[in-house]
Amino acid sequence: CTGVRPDIPMPERVEHLMPDDADIEPLIIDCLISLPRPVGRNGLARILTGSLRAPVGPDQARHFGALKPIGEAGVLAYVDDLIESNRLRQYTRQEYPVLAPTLSGRIEAEVWLAEHPELADYGEASVVDDIAASDAA
């Protein structure tokens, strides 16, 4: 070690776009519908927050990382509300609790996605760089 600190550039700050409040619950249901296999509450929360521990990657889930600003605990609260309002149901598959949309939840998500076709793509959520964010403010 030479004792000289290299000039390492600071990473740019990234701000994630947050969906409107009215879009959060149908977005969660639509994400669940898009998955290739069933997941539980925590797995769904990890997908929606873009966690490295997510059971699937952005190429297998719509809205991957879309709810990063509210965190896993916030997503879990929304999931619990969806279960309580009978738009999601929890059942056991191979001894693990997993989620599935109910008929009313599936209809809500399909109507919402038809109104927002730009969100039908798979991949990571959109981000805003500092320059665009400061221009908008």
Has residue 134 got a pLDDT over 50?
A: no
pLDDT of 2 reads 62
Domain count of the fold of the chain: 1
CA torsion through residues 52, 56, 59, 61, sign: negative
Question: Among candidates 48, 52, 108, which has minimal Cα distance to 74?
Answer: 48
pLDDT of 119 reads 85
Residue 104 forms part of a structural domain: yes
pLDDT digits (tens, 9 = 90+) for 27-57: 999 999 999 999 999 999 999 999 999 999 9
CA torsion through residues 25, 81, 97, 40, sign: positive
Question: Among candidates 53, 58, 61, 51, which has minimal Cα distance to 31?
Answer: 61
CA torsion through residues 23, 78, 30, 69, sign: positive
Residue 24 forms part of a structural domain: yes
The domain that holds 71 is classified in CATH as 1.10.10.10
Tokens (6 digits) for 66: 């879309």
pLDDT digits (tens, 9 = 90+) for 81-119: 999 999 999 999 999 999 999 999 999 999 999 999 988
Residue 48 forms part of a structural domain: yes
Residue 27 forms part of a structural domain: yes
Boundaries of domain holding 86:
16-121
Q: What is the pTM of this model?
A: 0.80
